[in-house]
């Protein structure tokens, strides 16, 4: 990783990696799909509406919108993700593009959604303004992000362990706080600043079910970008201490069939009115 690499290039190169995209799809998507219905509910999506799914990834939200009878377009900055989505859902339109410079005319969509994508953008405020631009008057936006780290225990335990046993300062390109929009005041204010009105904010429960705590640790190491890069930059001794600390936290999440780790989302929505 170049020391002068931009945050945007860092994120894009990470999500272009086929193994990273596959690992996320294989493991973390089982968590994120749990809030898709709530996201589309808060977007008030109806049959026949045109919806833009920004940061579509493997296309799960776009596919859920199609099942409702809406007309989805999925957009992602990663060609790898777009290819994965097209292979999985060949009947849906997927395009490669920039959330901060949407390749669509103004007033084109009834709904814009973004599931867990804002934390991967260098300028999320620009992305919200772009969503406002392409929405029709009266159209709605809804986005989901991870809840605060003390509640999204999977990520929270890892980052807490890194701070205790390693270092967060590992030379990654500077980007927005990963949990910036986990805060209600921040999300509601950002939507208003982008021009939206009547914003709402709520939690959506999600659980990460794993057979062993090391499975979750390995997934974060291989199926994410920012967290994985932070873990890889630790010394071997620190990494093992971090793994042990994470295992201790997850021991409290033991159930009969393995482990159920709380990983709630929060969903913000608003109207272009």
List, for residues 232-261, the tens digit of each pLDDT value: 999 999 999 999 999 999 999 999 989 999
Instruction: Please give the pLDDT value at position 3.
Output: 43
Q: Considering the entire predicted model, what is its pTM?
A: 0.95
Level-2 CATH architecture, domain 7-148+175-209+264-271 = 3-Layer(aba) Sandwich (3.40)
Instruction: Please give the pLDDT value at position 1.
Output: 41
Contacts of 244 (CB under 8 A, 6+ apart): none
Contacts of 264 (CB under 8 A, 6+ apart): 146, 147, 151, 152, 203, 204, 205, 206
What's the rounded Cα separation, in Å, for the pair 224 and 24?
A: 7
What letter would DSSP give residue 1? -
pLDDT band at 42 (very low <50, low <70, confident <90, very high): very high
Flag whether pLDDT at 88 surpasses 80.
yes
Work out the average pLDDT over 43-63.
98
Mean pLDDT, rounded, of the chain: 95
What's the rounded Cα separation, in Å, for the pair 233 and 211?
A: 27
| H-state helical runs in the chain | 7-16, 18-23, 29-32, 36-43, 60-68, 79-88, 124-134, 153-165, 184-193, 213-223, 226-232, 236-250
Tally helices (H) and strands (E) across the chain.
12, 10
**Domain extents for the chain?**
7-148+175-209+264-271
The string of pLDDT tens digits covering residues 13-26 is: 999 999 999 999 99
What's the rounded Cα separation, in Å, for the pair 259 and 66?
A: 33
From residue 39, alpha-carbon distances to 93, 109, 269 in Å are: 20, 16, 8
Query: What element of type H or E holds 141?
Result: strand 135-146
């Amino acid at each position: 990783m170049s020391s002068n690499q931009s945050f945007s290039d860092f994120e894009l190169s990470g999500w272009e990696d086929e193994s990273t995209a596959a690992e996320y799809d294989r493991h973390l998507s089982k968590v994120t799909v749990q809030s898709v219905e709530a996201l589309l509910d808060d977007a008030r999506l109806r049959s026949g509406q045109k919806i833009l799914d920004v940061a579509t990834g493997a296309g799960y939200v776009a596919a859920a919108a199609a099942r409702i009878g809406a007309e989805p377009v999925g957009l992602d900055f990663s060609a790898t993700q777009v290819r994965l989505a097209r292979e999985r859902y060949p009947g849906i339109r997927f395009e490669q593009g920039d959330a901060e410079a949407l390749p669509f005319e103004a007033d084109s969509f009834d709904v814009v959604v973004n599931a867990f994508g804002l934390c991967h953008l260098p300028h999320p405020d620009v992305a919200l303004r772009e969503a406002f631009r392409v929405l029709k008057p009266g159209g709605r936006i809804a986005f989901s992000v991870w809840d605060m780290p003390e509640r999204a225990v999977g990520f929270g335990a890892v980052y807490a362990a890194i701070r205790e046993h390693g270092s967060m300062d590992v030379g990654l390109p500077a980007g927005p706080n990963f949990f910036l929009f986990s805060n209600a005041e921040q999300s509601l204010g950002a939507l208003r600043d982008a021009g939206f009105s009547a914003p709402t904010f709520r939690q959506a429960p999600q659980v990460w079910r794993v057979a062993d705590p090391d499975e979750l640790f390995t997934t974060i190491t291989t199926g994410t970008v920012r967290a994985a890069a932070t873990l890889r930059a630790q010394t071997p001794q620190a990494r093992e201490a971090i793994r042990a600390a994470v295992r201790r936290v997850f021991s409290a999440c033991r159930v009969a069939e393995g482990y159920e780790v709380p990983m709630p989302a929060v969903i913000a929505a608003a109207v272009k009115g």
